[in-house]
Amino acid sequence: MVKLIEERIYLGTLEKEHCKKIWEEFEYDFISKTELLNIGHSIEKADEWFEQIKKEQGNSHIRLGIFLNNGTIIGDIALQDIDHKNRSCTIGMGISKLEYRNKGYGQEAVKILLEYGFNNYGLERITADTLEINISA
């Protein structure tokens, strides 16, 4: 199991039960509409997501869970669309519950994953796209 540790959080391997918990606990923010509203997606969709993660892990993506130091999973973060030839990718992240957003956990997670991507994975360019409304990002 991978475990990359920061002050208040760590990034770790996502297991099937983590994907289900993230999926079940996701809260849509109707004030800051920064994510798609996935109406009607059943819990089985979390199983499909986990299978996709397994398939892409280490090839085109590196996706890890964001955990509080007490072991509570609060979201996920990924180096996505990895281009090994050009040593580049994008970074994406999601925090499931509103109570964990805007607390700096995402910033810590990004710091950990950028350090890993540049210093351990050999990437030279990591970009991020976000909506203009997503002030915290």
Residue bearing the bigger pLDDT, 28 or 23: 23
Contact 125, 87 (CB under 8 A): yes
Residue for token pair 């973060």: 77
Q: 112 or 28: which carries more pLDDT confidence? A: 112
Q: Which domain holds residue 51?
A: 3-127
How far apart CA 25 and CA 97 sit, in angstroms, is: 6
pLDDT surpasses 90 at 44: no
Q: How confident is the model at residue 63 (pLDDT cuts 50, 70, 90)?
A: very high
Asked if residues 69 and 10 have their Cβ atoms less than 8 Å apart, the reply is yes
Q: Is residue 135 part of a domain?
A: no
What mean pLDDT do residues 35-56 have?
A: 79
Is residue 22 included in any domain, yes or no? yes
Question: How many domains are contained in the chain?
Answer: 1
Residue 27: pLDDT band with limits 50, 70, 90: confident
pLDDT for 40 beyond 60: no
* 133 domain-assigned: no
Which pLDDT band, with edges at 50, 70 and 90, does 105 fall under?
very high
Does the structure show a pLDDT above 60 at 37?
Answer: no
CATH of residue 79's domain is 3.40.630.30
Whether residue 106 lies inside any domain: the answer is: yes
Predicted pLDDT of residue 29: 66
Strands (E), the chain: 3-5, 9-12, 62-68, 73-83, 88-95, 125-127
Q: Is residue 137 included in any domain, yes or no?
A: no
In a domain? residue 121: yes
In a domain, 136, yes or no: no
- Determine the pLDDT at residue 134: 66
Does residue 38 surpass a pLDDT of 80?
Answer: no
**Spatial CB neighbours of 77, under 8 Å, sequence gap ≥ 6:** 11, 63, 64, 66, 91, 92, 93, 94, 106, 109, 110, 113
pLDDT of residue 131: 67
Residue 101 lies in a domain: yes
